[in-house]
Structures are given as structure tokens and as C-alpha cells.
Amino acid sequence: MLYEAIRKASDIFHKEEKRAWCYDSYMRDKNWDMWQDTEALNTSEIARLVTFLKQWYMQFYPSSSEAQLCLLNAIRATAPYMKLLKGETLLTIDFQRELMPGITASQAINKVFEIIAKAQGRQDMTASSKICHTIAPDLFVMFDGPIRSGYAILLMEDYGQRFLPRMQKLARKAVAEYVSRYKSAEFEALQFLCSGCGHTLPKVLDEYNYVKFTLRNDEIWDVEFQVLE
């Protein structure tokens, strides 16, 4: 069952991934009030973010003061789109709904993703997914190269048009399976999926993807596709 695979993958991730603490430490210590208004962001917060990226062996991500300023300006440039997406969650967002004339939720997501991905003059999709998630952890899901390959994500615009919608389908299926099996409420399914680590659903899905595709753990496939007696 999918819900069991997601929960098991999260447990495996926190047991086997030695860098798991880096996320917890960064998300706990960042100045959340400052991130609510990007104009208030300072270079020290950006430096902390870059350190977090490098802890995940993204050693090629630029860390000079000039590069950090470019990233700061890019994050500030996403503010109009992030305001449109405020309060949205992965489980409930309607990707096709117009948030303003001519801009759907999917397009607003892609605007944010693209601006950050191109902050250093290149298309750094992995870094962008991580940065976007740390800004809005209830909506954006992180990925890396193996995960992108697993979901056939090839283009920049695939993030909002294909990847997040596919993550939503996964999340809704897992929740529906749990609710059906235990005759429970949706919030109880979410508690089950996330209670192992206390993270948001998008982070738990990232852990599931990471264990399944990056670590190539066969046990997750066995649990997810088990034949029920």
C-alpha cells in the first residue's frame, strides 16, 4: 500500500541518511518572521540558506557575496507570485485555478521556481526545489536528479505542470487508502504519514522519493506494490 510505503520510507530516511539533521536544524533556526516579508531579508539569512544547500553536497552552488546577493534579489522577485500562493497546500491546491487574470496556480509556481533556478545565471533545478520548499514547506516538494528521472521531469516548466501535480496525486491516493482501510478522517491519515518525523507532507513525500529513487531501496517498492491476500 502506498501510505505504508511513504511512512516506511520516511522512517528509513531518518535512520540511514546521516544528513537528515541538516534540514531540521535549518528549518528550526531560520528567522521565519523575516521570510514573511522578503524586503526584510538580509544577507545573513541567505548565507544560512546557502550553507544548508552545501550540507547536501551541492558544493557547486555559488557562495560568494555576489552570488548570495543575486539569490537574495531573486527571492525578492518571487514575492508577487508567493503572495498569490499564500495559504496553498500541496494536498488542496487547484493547479488550474486562476489566481489572477492569466495566471494559474501552476504558472505562479513555475514563475517562482524559474526565477530562483536562474538566480545564478544557470538552470539549477535541484537547488530551486530545495529553496522553494524552505520558503513554503506545505506546498513545494524537493527533488534531485534521480527523483526527476523517476518522474520523467525534463524541463523547467515540468515542476509546476507535472511534478507537483503528480506529488498531489500520490498524496491524495495515500490519504484515501488510509481513510478507506481504517474508516478514519483525513487528518488522521496525515498524522500517520507525518508523525514519524513531524515534517510537512511535501517533506515526507521528498523522503519517500529519496529512499525510492536516490537510495534505490527495493523494500519500498515491495511494500508499495505488495499483493494483498
Establish if 53 belongs to a structural domain. Answer: yes
Residue 9 class from Cβ within 10 Å (0-12 exposed, 13-18 middle, 19+ buried)? buried
The tens digit of pLDDT for each residue in 76-99 reads 999 999 999 999 999 999 999 999
Q: What is the pLDDT of residue 122?
A: 77
Q: Residue 225's pLDDT band (boundaries 50, 70, 90)?
A: very high
Q: How many domains does the chain have?
A: 1
**Average confidence (pLDDT) over 177-197:** 89
The grid cell for 5 is: 510505503
Question: What's the start-to-end Cα distance of the chain, in Å?
Answer: 12
Establish if 167 belongs to a structural domain. Answer: yes
Q: What is the pLDDT of residue 229?
A: 57
**Average confidence (pLDDT) over 163-192:** 94
pTM to 2 decimals?
A: 0.92
The grid cell for 101 is: 487574470
The tens digit of pLDDT for each residue in 27-59 reads 999 998 888 888 888 888 999 999 898 887 666
Which DSSP state fits 98? E
Establish if 149 belongs to a structural domain. Answer: yes
Q: What is the pLDDT of residue 58?
A: 62
Q: What is the pLDDT of residue 161?
A: 95
The tens digit of pLDDT for each residue in 116-162 reads 999 987 789 999 999 999 999 999 999 999 999 999 999 999 999 99
Establish if 145 belongs to a structural domain. Answer: yes
Residue 28 class from Cβ within 10 Å (0-12 exposed, 13-18 middle, 19+ buried)? exposed
Range of the domain at 19: 2-224
Establish if 205 belongs to a structural domain. Answer: yes
- Determine the Cα–Cα distance for residues 6 and 20; give it in Å rounded to an integer: 16
* % the chain with pLDDT above 70: 97
Establish if 56 belongs to a structural domain. Answer: yes
Establish if 229 belongs to a structural domain. Answer: no
The tens digit of pLDDT for each residue in 97-120 reads 999 999 999 999 999 999 999 998
Q: What is the pLDDT of residue 121?
A: 77
Q: What is the pLDDT of residue 38?
A: 80
Establish if 110 belongs to a structural domain. Answer: yes
- Determine the Cα–Cα distance for residues 50 and 26; give it in Å rounded to an integer: 10
Residues 6+ apart with CB under 8 A from 32: none
